[in-house]
Structure 1
Amino acid sequence: MARTPRPSSCPARSSRTRRPRSRRCARCAPGSDPNLAPGPAGRSPAGPSLRRRSPERPTMTTHHSRARIGRRGLPLLTGTGAMTALSACADPAGPNAEPTSLPADVAAHGVDAEQLTMTVYKDASCGCCGGWVTHAEEHGFTITTEHPESLATVWQDHDVALDLQSCHLARNPDGHLFVGHVPARHVVEYLADPPQGGRGLSVPASPVGTPGMEQGDRFDPYSVMLITHGEPSVFAKVAKASDQKI
């Protein structure tokens, strides 16, 4: 005998309809706290298992390709930056830097490199003057060259008598004058122990064989004159070319 289906007391169950579940998470559900995160699976999101979500950290707005530095490149950049900072703060020449390093034979005379820093007044077209400048620089002098419109003004300004004049004049920071083709040897000897009342040295005219006036084996003996506030005197006699060497 077939059984007659028993009517259900619950219309909802008899219709076999189910309420669709919401796909919203606990944070997105209406009325929920966006700082709350759901607990472990199987527990109600409103239960005591909810934990406070830490505030989100601000993200960089710079593009990743620019903001990201490779691990291998970081030590290199750090080292380069450190070296740049050190080189910017360091004084490469030191607080007591000299204008130039003196050759041993020049330094042996006890002169200061600052004394060999000179300004040379000469005509722009004078080749023998350039030869003397080269000679001086080879012996550790630091030379600055000027080309005045008139050498006559230079002689007048420095009170150099006509019989002591030559093709150029060199002056150091202490005001000592070296006129003409004075060998570096005699310049150094003078500056190491300046004679009383001395203002400098001069080789009048341009003797052949002096530094900058070389002409093969030719050599004309000459005297190096001491410039004073009065009458000049002989500082040294140069009889042969070897007498000019330090």
Structure 2
Amino acid sequence: MKINRKTRGALIALLLGVFTLSACSETGQNPKNTEERATKSSSETIALTTYKSATCGCCKLWVEHAGEQGFTVDARDVDDLNGIKERFRIAPEYQSCHTSVSENDYVFEGHVPAKYIRQFLQNPPANARGLAVPAMPLGSPGMEVGDRFTAYDILLLQSDGSHRVYARIDNPQQQH
């Protein structure tokens, strides 16, 4: 049987359409996958501007982490990070290697897991300015080195300059 060019094109288009639909569809409902999709879709509108050094590899990895979690990140390499930290009133004891700022001017200092940024932005505490992970804890997003991990606190930065612990991260699984 001979197939003309027009029919062959239509068959190819049909097969490609079926293949695309089957590749994109789910077989069965996996609650974990459903939860992951819901979490990622809830973060799709979160946009951050991240100020970092052009030479800092861990900052680049943190930006990738945020992007993988559905955030939109405008990463800006700056020469004067101290000026950025002063501008956003990040006290020296809360500082890390990069500073991220949300569209509504909340600050996220250092290697804060995207999960906690999302949680914070969904329900910002009263008188809060943002979150900070001071220093650069081993195993935090962007600071992964094999399976090594150091427990750390995510601090809630208050408008009056004080802080309190927002979350304690005791193992890598709590970050995702």
CA distance in structure 1 between the partners assigned to 2:44 and 2:139 by the alignment:
27
1:119-138 pair list within 5 angstroms: 119-138=49-68
Deviation at residue 155 of structure 1 after TM alignment: 0.6
Deviation at residue 204 of structure 1 after TM alignment: 0.2
2:39 counterpart residue number: 105
CA distance in structure 2 between the partners assigned to 1:241 and 1:207 by the alignment:
11
Query: Which has the larger helix fraction?
Result: 2
CA distance in structure 2 between the partners assigned to 1:214 and 1:166 by the alignment:
16
CA distance in structure 2 between the partners assigned to 1:113 and 1:134 by the alignment:
14
1:101-180 pair list within 5 angstroms: 103-107=37-41, 111=42, 113-114=44-45, 116-180=46-110
Give the SS at the match of 2:137: coil
Opposite residue 207 of structure 1, the aligned amino acid is P
Q: Could you tell me whether the CA contact under 8 Å between 1:103 and 1:139 is conserved in 2?
A: no
The structure showing larger relative contact order (alpha-carbon pairs under 8 Å, at least 6 residues apart) is 2
Give the SS at the match of 1:188: helix
Give the SS at the match of 1:200: strand
1:190 counterpart residue number: 120
CA distance in structure 2 between the partners assigned to 1:226 and 1:119 by the alignment:
19
Opposite residue 158 of structure 1, the aligned amino acid is F
Unaligned runs of 5+ in 1: 1-101
Unaligned runs of 5+ in 2: 1-35
Query: Which has the larger strand fraction?
Result: 2
Q: How large is the Cα RMSD of the aligned pairs?
A: 1.4
> What percent of counterpart residues are identical?
38
Query: Structure 1-normalised TM-score?
Result: 0.55
Q: List, as ranges, runs of 4+ consecutive aligned residues in structure 1 with deviation greater than 3 Å.
A: 111-114
The one-character-per-residue Cα deviations of 1:94-139 (angstroms, maximum 9, x if unpaired) are: xxxxxxxx942234xxx5633x111110000000000000000001
1:30-41 pair list within 5 angstroms: none
Opposite residue 62 of structure 2, the aligned amino acid is W
CA distance in structure 1 between the partners assigned to 2:109 and 2:72 by the alignment:
16
